[in-house]
Amino acid sequence: MTVGPLPKRFEPRERPGDLGEPLVAPFNGLVVQAANYGGGYGKCVGVVGLTPQGELVCWQGRHLKDMTVKPGQIVWAGDPIGSIGNADGRYAGAHLHEQICVGEVPG
């Protein structure tokens, strides 16, 4: 389960998308989070893997319309993991809140 070079921390961002637009795994990894958290986050999916240097890499996507994975599931880059939604209501339109961290777990 490896990914290419990434910055140490990818600041959270809101990425616009279409409601229901398919969301795919960003890299090969293990699903460690797939739950509805409410409180503005809505449905969240988290995936962990390893960089070529052996460092932990974590990705988290929030505000999903639906999830097609479960914790403990292995995913490969490009596998469907859910679809884009708009859970927080503070952003105009469907979007994905995503974050990538290398060597740490996203908050």
pLDDT per residue as tens, the chain (107 positions): 444 444 455 667 788 889 999 999 999 999 999 999 866 778 999 999 988 888 888 899 988 999 999 999 999 999 999 999 986 666 668 888 888 888 765 55
Distance between CA atoms of residues 27 and 42, nearest Å: 22
d(CA 88, CA 82): 17
Q: How far apart are CA 93 and CA 16, in angstroms?
A: 8
**Whole-structure pTM value:** 0.81
Place of tokens 């990818």: 10
Q: Do 60 and 49 contact (CB within 8 A), yes or no?
A: no
